[in-house]
Amino acid sequence: MADKVHIVPHFHWDREWYFTAEESKILLVNDMEEVLTMLETREDYPCFVLDGQTSVLEDYFSVSPENRERVRALVQRGKLIIGPWYTQTDEMVVGGESIVRNLLYGMKDCREFGSPMMIGYLPDSFGQSARMPQILRGFNIENSMFWRGTSERMGTDRTEFFWEDDDGSRVAVQLLPLGYAIGKYLPVEKEALRKRMEKYMPVLERGTATGHLLVPNGHDQMPLQRDIFQVMETMRELYPDKEFFLSRYEDVFAAIGRQGNLDTLRGEFLDGRYMRVHRSIFSSRADLKAANTRIENKITNLLEPLASIAYKLGFPYHHGLVEAIWKELMKNHAHDSIGCCCSDKVHRAIADRYFLAEERADRLIEFYMRKIVDAMDCSRALDKLTVFNLLPYEREGMIRGKIVTKMKRFVLERPDGSRLEYEIADRRIVDAGLIDRQIVHYGDYEPFVEYTLEFCDRIPAMGFTTYLVREAEALAGESFTASMAAGTGESPAASVADGTGESFAASMAAGTGEKLAVEPADPAGNGRPASPAANTLENEYLSVTIEPNGSLTVLDKQKGQYYRDVLLLEDGSDDGDGYDYSPAVNDWVLTSKEETADVRCQHGTYSHKARVRVSMAVPAGLESRSERRRDGRVDVEFELELKAGSPVLEVRVTVDNQADSHRLRLLVPGQEHEGFSVSDNQFGMIRRPVRDEAMDVWEKEGWSERPDSIYPFLSWVSGCGERGLAVLTNSVREYEMTGPDYGVLAVTLFRSVGVLGKEGLLRRPGRPSGIKMETPDSQLRGSHTYEIALTACRDHLARTAKEYVTPFISYNKMPYNAMKLNPAEAKVPYAYSLLRETEGRVVLGALKKAEDEDKLIARFYNGGGEKVPVRLKDENGDLAVDVVKLNETDVLSRHVTGVQWVGYNQIFTCKF
């Protein structure tokens, strides 16, 4: 018999949802005053939980800074419970580093006031990531509390259990089986309270393994319940055999700690039997989710490693600027915000924050590159092109860089004096005033020319190499090949085919129209694309033929395997809402199989490119679809690129959507799946069934939502067999294995819906999720761009995907710049390597400066393998590191050198 009932005062604070963050801030000022006053004046009111996120305090202090000391005093007395998160993060479609930084910055914020709540408190996240036990234990958090995603199918019918990750990390869980709001607005009146509690008590008693029941006393934006003491008196009358008392979550976990024999669960929790997890929310407002993916990758893969290199070379690491970018991004990681199940007003605010975060990241990346290159010796050349490789191993491949100059001809010279062969892919005129206003101030209006160059070279591990840009004159009678080797910048017009005889330069009509290629490409595949046929892109790994309907036939040249109908478009109805996809009862699914595409190809020395345009007539809305009318359209442009030496076909997709209430997906057939798909998740990989067996019984058993096998991925996904093309992404993150035999990998480009919440969906019966509100912007009318890639190389997909989202970046140093800087004191060499990981099996998760020490943090993870080695070296040999927890401070092993072993789905963090 459960005889102890813990009533914990709290509120759940959605910063924004159908209301804006500005509206909730006004309510916050009112509610916080009541909370602070109650905690200060009543000793028998033990605590109040601020929803586990410090962004609530940040918002509050932005308008009420005078109350900082009141808050600090209450936190230190243990009455106001704050942290450990910065925002109430989603766990499924944000990257692992985003979740780590959310805890890192949240706990840092807490330390200004006192101690954080050491509970992984995520009461409303739409599903639970399998990596959470390991992440939480990395911050010494041993307990977790959440609501959504579990059922007895996971391995227990108890509300208290242990949750274990693949590396052995384990946390104790107190499930919220009925959510975080069962104690909202509890009535004092006896019969009303009885009616409420009779719904909850049997569920709580049936699930408990400890005899301790939890009733969270709060709700979304709910003010403090002043009459809670009277409510408890009434409860005691109703249940004289139970003990009711105001409590804290820590006391609940203390009871769990005394109960040793609990079930142990593993894996992710995305089960919608008892509570909605919104399995298809991963594609709501795909434009915003794509922005999140792109910015996460810029921060972790480009900005922070670049800042770390600069720091080791003697430049400041600007923690404040980096933290400001992360926090701007993480304001969008709250479950409703990243879910994009909000009002149009809120979605516009989310887009503004993405713009601000990306602009800050882009400018800081450029700043660090400039600081490094500006500190190089200028005696040999004033103009330079420096290329950065921000992965911990040498990389050789095609590099695209830009040079802005007034030189008519130029050569690129390596630090050792040898010249670099390159090709001019594009050129455009740049107004001198954009380069430096001082130039035109003194009357020089002669424009500059920006050249886009392509070349192949090897770049040091986690470092850079610099090419000196020198003016050159072509020699009389010099051949084209020789002049290119000297870097004169001269190229003939491209000899390309588009099926019509029209030149590429004329058909593309982009920029200056000069898309230039050298004479015949290398047919032997020696690091360059071979000469392909019309409408074919080819290198030593892949041969990609563009069919008349715009789909691709891909030949994996290593295995001799063909894949056909790749990137067919599939368009079907979406009668769902901002939370979930749901088809119309009378659906009509169309594909681009019978369409006619417009194809333009460009064959260069270092890359093959194509532009493929497909226009599909589709129903303009649900009514048109039910009547089988094609009175709307989607125009899709694919920009394909196959680079020299790369097993990856890069695909940039721009969609002009002129229809409502539909879903557009890309199809990648030919998957060998053995019943499972495999994809990455935070710091690892995961196998999922291509069909959930509960599909046969979900209606009979009264599930909250249909268990369709629609899942998130972060950077790569494929079938789990040996054959099939894997999909990499730098944008959208939702997939499903579909088709008669589940051999087609369908990647959602976008869903188009017009309401925030809707009742009675085909796949989600009953009440609306959220509220019923029109959201016309969520129809995603207009143009949106997404970036994915395809590869047949299945060996270590995690590293292949990492390379795809970590491109070479470059900086062109010239004698002019609109923003002046004084010369740096540091002296930087032309080439540099910070560190190397020599074993080649782990994946770099992060490289950054430690928050509180003058050391660097490197984080790796096992992206696919039972046990893999990691070994770090610098110019002096093996690097001595301290192995640390995710919190960066707790040391597990000191002064470690040589090979370390990283288990399956394990995170390895070190400090040096």
For residue 85, give the H/E element and its range.
none
* DSSP summary character for residue 828: B
Structural contact between residues 460 and 389, judged by C-beta atoms closer than 8 angstroms: yes
124 is catalytic: yes
* Burial (0-12, 13-18, 19+ Cβ within 10 Å), 829: middle
d(CA 677, CA 745): 9
Q: Which of 726, 716, 790, 723 is nearest to 559 (CA)?
A: 723
ω into 84 cis (within 30 of 0): yes
Spatial neighbors of 552 by CB under 8 A, at least 6 apart, are 544, 545, 546, 563, 566, 567, 640
Pairing state of beta strands 710-712 and 716-719?
unpaired
List the structure tokens of 346.
């809120």
* Burial (0-12, 13-18, 19+ Cβ within 10 Å), 737: buried
d(CA 47, CA 77): 9
Q: Out of 14, 31, 109, 124, which one is annotated catalytic?
A: 124
Instruction: Using CA atoms of 852, 855, 856, 860 in order, give the dihedral in degrees to the nearest 10.
Output: -90
* DSSP summary character for residue 343: -
Strands (E), 267-336: none
Our CA angle for 646, 647, 653, nearest 5°, is 90
* Burial (0-12, 13-18, 19+ Cβ within 10 Å), 561: middle
DSSP labels, 98-128 = HHHHHHHHHHHHHHTTSPPP-SEEETT-SSB
Our CA angle for 3, 8, 9, nearest 5°, is 150
List the structure tokens of 561.
């395997």
CB atoms within 10 A of CB 687: 12
Spatial neighbors of 411 by CB under 8 A, at least 6 apart, are 419, 420, 469, 470, 472, 486, 487, 488
Q: Which of 195, 190, 198 is nearest to 232 (CA)?
A: 190
* Burial (0-12, 13-18, 19+ Cβ within 10 Å), 814: middle
d(CA 800, CA 843): 10
Dihedral class, residue 190 (left if φ above 0, else alpha if ψ from -120 to 50, else beta)? alpha
* DSSP summary character for residue 894: E
* DSSP summary character for residue 46: -
Please tell me whether residue 678 adopts helix, strand or coil conformation.
Answer: strand
Structural contact between residues 430 and 436, judged by C-beta atoms closer than 8 angstroms: no
Please tell me whether residue 220 adopts helix, strand or coil conformation.
Answer: strand
Please tell me whether residue 544 adopts helix, strand or coil conformation.
Answer: strand
* DSSP summary character for residue 853: S
- Number of helices (H), then strands (E), in the chain: 20, 47
Structural contact between residues 631 and 662, judged by C-beta atoms closer than 8 angstroms: no
Please tell me whether residue 779 adopts helix, strand or coil conformation.
Answer: helix
List the structure tokens of 574.
């979406």
Active centre residues (catalytic): 124
